Structure 1
Amino acid sequence: MIAEAAIARVAEREAERFRAANPRAFAHRAVATGWFQSVPFHWMKDWPSPVPIVAASARDATLTSIDGHTYDDFCLGDTASLFGHSPPALAAALARQAGEGLSYMLPTERGAALSQRLAAMFGLPQWQVTTTASEANRAVIRWCRGISGRRKILIFNGAYHGAVDDAFVDLKGGDPAMRASLIGQVHDLRDTTTVIEFNDQDAVAAALRSGDIACVLAEPVMTNVGMVRDAPGFLAALRKLCDETATLLVFDETHTISSGYGGHGVTHGPRPDLMVIGKSIGGGVPCAVYGFSAEVAERMAALNAARPAGHSGIGTTLSANALAITAMDTMLGDVITPAAYDHMLRGAARLLAGLEAEIAGVGLEWRVAQVGARVEFLTCPTPPRNGGEAKAAMHPALEAAIHLFLANRGILLAPFHNMMLVSPVTSDDQIDRLVGAFADCTRALKE
């Protein structure tokens, strides 16, 4: 156990160290007053430092701040730059596309090639492009409701699927409740969203056999409430129950693309009916895709043919713009390769082993979880089995102190939880520096 007094002591000391080392970041906040709360978007305030680090540039797995500090970047844009910052092939392709036009509202030859790359990598034959994974999830929910004629969706407690209203329902004391943090929510989402705990096969069976669930929207491994692994056999049972009840299975693989080439469904199974991938597939250029089976495509086409003319509620003007198409085609053709995953998985295994050794060395009852190239330390003795247990095990003050300690020593972790990403350009030296700084932090907390 780590004493609360020790957490407070380390946090205060590290905050002072940050203030002394980052004067330009504080000056930046003073002049960025045109932004609400001094940042272009609110989650930029979620870092544990007294003010956000202000980025100047990033390349490969390294980020440099305006205060001149160089960081080993294990956040990588919270997966947006999972395959490294500005891969040379991507930078060159984007520069060429910028000279040829950015958005036409027309298909391109490169888009045809991209559709084939997506089908080959992820094993689904039909695809559509959106601007964000949030938009893709919203579109998939609409399609699933439309082609099934059912109103409800099923999600898992603690899941996050972007800014999608339907997914913001939690379990509180075993009962569904709309997430209290939602701003301006006026409709009761519980009428159309069923929520249960991850890995609860009996609850899945009971919910799906009611016959009113259009789709299950899930990460095959939960990654946004800490990391919660699928229990042995759970995903296979989920697939079987969906088939038995004519329920569509949707995998949101925006994060679990870390599992291996083709994502978690291709690497470990089972295969979903539809899947969503965002962020990393464009190397950080705003874009996402959703793919679906031939059977789902036929049902979508029939629905389109039968519905009245007018806007479907799916899509935006910038969906599938030329820049996004070029970014994704380049990433899938030149950057996101089996060889890249070989490097990522080897590095993640090195990181996992190093963290486990240091945790054991200081006698802490913590655990380390791994989902392919994604590693996360858990400040609890038992890996959580579901979102409820994961939320109960979180220790925000402790995690913030660790993150700030590491940032002050040139190591960036994702600010929302304890996630560390290993990219194809992350070096062994960077991994070893992270493990060493983590060891120094645990010793400081144990003093």
Structure 2
Amino acid sequence: MPRSGIDPAAVAALTTAERALFLARNPVSSALAARARGALVDGVPMHWMADWSTPCPLFVAEARGARFRDVDGHDHVDFCLGDTGAMFGHSPAPVAAAIADQAARGLTTMLPGEDAVRAGELLAERFGLPFWQVTATATDANRAALRWARAITGRKVIVVFDGCYHGTVDDVMVRAARGRTVHRPGLIGQAQDLTLTSRAVPFNDPDALRAALAPGDVAALICEPAMTNIGMVLPDPGFMAACRDLTRAHGALMIIDETHTISTGFGGCTREWRLDPDIFVMGKPVAGGVAAGVFGVSAAVAAGMAQARAAAAAAGGHGHSGMGTTLSANALAMHAMRVNLEAVMTRAAYDHMLALSDRLATGLRALIARHALPWCVTRLGARCEFQFCATPPRTGAEAEAAFDDPLREALHLYLINRGILITPFHNMMLCCPETTAEDVDRLVATLDRALADLAATAQSQATA
């Protein structure tokens, strides 16, 4: 019996039945998938879209609030919400109106407008860092933050936590293995040896972080305040404060990536936990689903950026960072971001989301106890996750050890066939302002039926 406590043979039988049910229920998606394979790599415009548990991609016709309708006409309650990109619901009315308004007034000019000024003011008020820059994605923001950190400190090395995710930035694609930093398995097209300038250490291990910082060559620690992409891993009490103290003591900057952990509350973990980063990064939901990322910096970092630009100019360069992309801070994104910050990402929205996430966590814990499973539930604000381990993991390695991919895929497919979507790759769920208590209860009840079906299948196989 695997660590998850569920018979693999029962999982395999359920998966076979659910795959057949999916194909029978979704002929239009199946036909579109076949057509797409003639024009798109792997039949999808972005390869992650091929990585769901379904036999073929589920094609979407429209999405609004906490729901979407697929091309076969089935309505789904969405707890994935674009893996945080639509954390405040699909196409929020104020943002949709803002997009329509801006579309008639120009999409991109490579010049600022008043929206940019107001968005910067709103970000500063919310997160406490005084100066801001806008990028096309959080990946771009993280890449810029690391480059600025290196320029300001004159150092090359960065430190990450094992199992981290900060987008597709090359520097973070390393893991910790038996006390050494190694390349993340399966990297495609990697040319440079990342271990020369990147160090990976376990989360919740201040001694390992201290050792990584000790040589005095680290430009920055880049981290989520809670790990979210390898399964949820919450910080031990005092760990984030230790990270701040250690980076300061060793002359390194601290970059906090809150692209996912913005689920925690109105000001993210940065405000809720009184963190004091040198650089703050966010993307995904910041413009209501329009592609955008941001990074905010302290006054000291802003001064260091100015000095770095001046030094580049004095050396005969143009004095620019080389990190920009043409569509960053375009007029459409800035108008959507301003309206999203003003009218969608509100304290009232968080109050609703957090209450429902608490209801979901309570329901999941009761469900796990009822089925006597060695699972746990981890929650971070509006983000909730069940994991196939008895106690919450403290490191990325512990979270990864709890993976049971066949079981996860079977449960996700079971939910999809009954009109419920949760995040692929792990078992994360988000509650948005349009999520209802009935939606939460339906999710818990459907998981209950899935577990009952698995138990019945296992019993039937045992007596056959």
Please classify the TM superposition score into its range, dividing by the shorter chain length.
over 0.9
Map of 1:397 onto structure 2: 406
Match of 1:272 among 262, 274, 277: 277
- Tell me, yes or no, if structure 1 residue 356 matches structure 2 residue 365: yes
Map of 1:325 onto structure 2: 334
Tell me by how many angstroms 1:165 deviates: 0.4
Tell me by how many angstroms 1:123 deviates: 0.8
Counterpart-to-counterpart distance in 1, 2:179 and 2:421: 36
Tell me by how many angstroms 1:209 deviates: 2.2
Task: Output the amino acid matched with 2:107.
Answer: L
Match of 2:302 among 294, 297, 322: 297
Tell me by how many angstroms 1:37 deviates: 1.2
Map of 2:189 onto structure 1: 184
Tell me by how many angstroms 1:282 deviates: 0.9
Tell me by how many angstroms 1:173 deviates: 3.3
- Tell me, yes or no, if structure 1 residue 338 matches structure 2 residue 342: no
Match of 1:80 among 66, 85, 101: 85
Deviations 1:302-338 (A, max 9, x none): 1111113335221101011000101110100100011
Map of 2:395 onto structure 1: 386
Match of 1:162 among 159, 167, 192: 167
Question: Which shifted more, 223-232 or 238-247?
Answer: 238-247
Match of 1:55 among 55, 60, 73: 60
Deviations 1:13-64 (A, max 9, x none): 1111101100011100121121111111100001100001100000100010
Map of 1:228 onto structure 2: 233
Match of 1:144 among 149, 161, 182: 149
Deviations 1:108-131 (A, max 9, x none): 011111110010011110000000
Tell me by how many angstroms 1:172 deviates: 2.6
Map of 1:21 onto structure 2: 25
Counterpart-to-counterpart distance in 1, 2:204 and 2:423: 25
Secondary structure at 2:176's aligned position in 1?
strand
Map of 1:204 onto structure 2: 209
Counterpart-to-counterpart distance in 1, 2:414 and 2:84: 22
Mind listing any 5+ residue stretches in structure 1 that lack a counterpart? Answer: none
Counterpart-to-counterpart distance in 1, 2:225 and 2:150: 21
Map of 2:119 onto structure 1: 114
Map of 2:459 onto structure 1: none
Alignment: residue pair count: 447
Question: Which shifted more, 347-356 or 165-174?
Answer: 165-174
Task: Output the amino acid matched with 1:334.
Answer: A
Task: Output the amino acid matched with 2:336.
Answer: A
Tell me by how many angstroms 1:208 deviates: 1.4
Match of 1:11 among 5, 10, 15: 15
Deviations 1:179-200 (A, max 9, x none): 1211110100000001100000
Secondary structure at 2:106's aligned position in 1?
coil
- Tell me, yes or no, if structure 1 residue 415 matches structure 2 residue 424: yes
Secondary structure at 1:307's aligned position in 2?
helix
Counterpart-to-counterpart distance in 2, 1:95 and 1:418: 35
Aligned structure 1 segments of 4 or more residues deviating by more than 6 angstroms: none
Secondary structure at 2:54's aligned position in 1?
coil
Map of 1:31 onto structure 2: 35
Map of 2:378 onto structure 1: 369
Counterpart-to-counterpart distance in 2, 1:96 and 1:316: 24
Query: Over the residues paired in the alignment, what is the CA RMSD in angstroms?
Result: 0.9
Task: Output the amino acid matched with 1:338.
Answer: R
Tell me by how many angstroms 1:174 deviates: 3.3
Map of 2:200 onto structure 1: 195
Counterpart-to-counterpart distance in 1, 2:177 and 2:212: 18
Task: Output the amino acid matched with 1:157.
Answer: D
Tell me by how many angstroms 1:284 deviates: 1.0
Deviations 1:76-99 (A, max 9, x none): 000000000111110111101000
Counterpart-to-counterpart distance in 1, 2:34 and 2:387: 36
Mind listing any 5+ residue stretches in structure 2 that lack a counterpart? Answer: 457-464
Tell me by how many angstroms 1:269 deviates: 2.5
Counterpart-to-counterpart distance in 2, 1:271 and 1:360: 39
The alignment's TM-score, normalised by the length of structure 2, stands at: 0.95
Counterpart-to-counterpart distance in 1, 2:273 and 2:348: 18
Counterpart-to-counterpart distance in 1, 2:389 and 2:6: 11
Deviations 1:238-270 (A, max 9, x none): 111112112111111000000001111111132
Task: Output the amino acid matched with 2:364.
Answer: L
